[in-house]
Amino acid sequence: MSRTIVQMVLLLCVAFSVGTFSFASPAAAQSPRPVIIDTDMALDDWLAILYVLKDPDFEVKAITVTGTGFAYCDAGVHIALGLVALTEYGDVPVSCGSETPLLGENAPPAEWRTNMEAAEALGLPDGGEASEQDAVALFSSTVAESTENVTVLALGPLTNVAAALDADSSLVDKIEMVYVMGGAVDVPGSGISEANVTAEWNIYCDPHAARLVFESGAPITLVPLDATNEAPITPEFLSMIEVNQQTPEAEFVYTALTGIAESIESGGYYFWDPLAAGVMTDPDIVTLTERDVTVIDIPGHAEDGRTKPVGNGPEIWVATAPDASTLAQHLIDAWTS
C-alpha cells in the first residue's frame, strides 16, 4: 500500500472517530495531474525528480531516461528506480531510450557521464526492474492511454520526446505542456567548446531532437540558462538542508550536494533542473514571455544546438527572472515533508 493511501485511510478513521466526517461532492476533490519525467539523470535531475515525487498535485506516470545525456542507460534507470523506491512512491514504470542522438555526435565527455559503478555507490534502495517497453514506447503509450492531458517535464536531451512525437504526431493533442530545461536564448551557452559558445548541453546533445519538439506543435515552456543563471545553489541552502534531514529524501539530497560542495562554494552550481520542476509546479516563480525560438541543428556548425530567437520560429514560453528564494523553500518543504 502506498504512503498516500495509508494517509487517506488514517484521515478517514480520525474523521469517523470524532464525528466530523461529511460527504463531499466528487467535484470538490481535484485529481493530481499526470506527468511524465524525461531525464538524463544528472545530479540536478535527482533533485528535481525527488521534488516532483513529493508533490501531491502531480502523479508521476512514467520516467523515461535518455541515454544521450549525462548518464548511461543502465546507470540512469538504476538511479531512477532507486529514487522512486526511496520515496516509497509505488509503481512507476522506468525505461531508457537510445544512447545515440537522432542526428550528429554531440555526447558529453565520457568522464562526465554517470556509469553503473557510480550509480551503485549512491546507496539507493533497490527499485526493481525496468519496464519491458523502451523509453519511446513507454512515453507514447502513457500519453495515448491517459484519460487526461499529460504534462511532460523534460530535464535532458529531447531524444525520447522527439522520437515519440515524430512517430505519432497525434500525441501532441494529449500533451498539456512540455517544460524543458535547456537552451540559452539571450545569454551565452554552457561553454561547449572554444568554437561553440551559444549552445547549452541539454539541447546540444541532440539539437535535431530539440528542433523537432519545438516544431511539433506541442505547447512548450523553456527554462533556459537565462533563468537558471540567476538561481545558484548557495552554501546557505546547503546549510538549510543540513539542519532539515528528517526524511530519507532530505538525507539523500544533503549527501549528494555535499559531494559537490566545492562547486557550490565557488558559485558554479545552479538549480538547473529543479527550477524547471519548480516552474511546472508554480509558474509564478518566474517571468514567462512568449518568444519565437528555433534550434540550430547543423552538425559541426559553430552554433549547433543554439536556441536562437528569430522572427518566424515556433512560439514558446521562455522563463526569466526566477524567484530563487521561493524555489529554495518549495524544494526544502517538499523534501522534508
Please write the tens of the pLDDT for every residue from 32-51: 999 999 999 999 999 999 99
Using alpha carbons, select from 127, 104, 62 the residue that is nearest to residue 203: 104
Query: Has residue 310 been placed in a domain?
Result: yes
Please report which residue ranges of 223-323 form alpha helices under DSSP H. 225-228, 235-242, 248-258, 261-265, 272-281
Per-residue pLDDT reduced to its tens digit, 258-267: 999 999 999 9
Q: Which pLDDT value is given to residue 30? A: 79
| pTM for the structure as a whole | 0.91
Q: How confident is the model at residue 241 (pLDDT cuts 50, 70, 90)?
A: very high
Query: Has residue 143 been placed in a domain?
Result: yes
Residues sharing a CB contact under 8 Å with residue 285, sequence separation 6 or more, in sequence order: 278, 279, 322, 323, 326, 327, 330
Number of structural domains in the chain? 1
CATH number at residue 158: 3.90.245.10
HSE at residue 35, side-chain half, CA atoms within 13 A, is 27
Please check the confidence at residue 63 and state whether its pLDDT lies above 60. yes
Distances (CA, A) of 84 to 81, 108, 124, 237, 326: 5, 26, 10, 24, 25
CA distance 244 to 92: 27
pLDDT exceeding 70 applies to what percent of the chain? 91
Q: Which pLDDT value is given to residue 28? A: 34
Q: What is the mean pLDDT of residues 104-118?
A: 95
Please check the confidence at residue 313 and state whether its pLDDT lies above 50. yes
- Tell me the residue range of the domain where 214 lies: 31-335
Per-residue pLDDT reduced to its tens digit, 113-170: 999 999 999 999 999 999 999 999 999 999 999 999 999 999 999 999 999 999 999 9
Instruction: Compute the mean pLDDT over every residue in the chain, rounded to the nearest whole number.
Output: 92
Q: How confident is the model at residue 23 (pLDDT cuts 50, 70, 90)?
A: very low
CA distance 337 to 332: 8
Residue 184 φ/ψ, nearest 5 degrees: -150, 105
Three-state DSSP at 215 gives: coil
Residues 47 and 55 sit within 8 Å (Cβ to Cβ) = no
Three-state DSSP at 305 gives: coil
Burial class (CB in 10 A: 0-12, 13-18, 19+), 308: middle
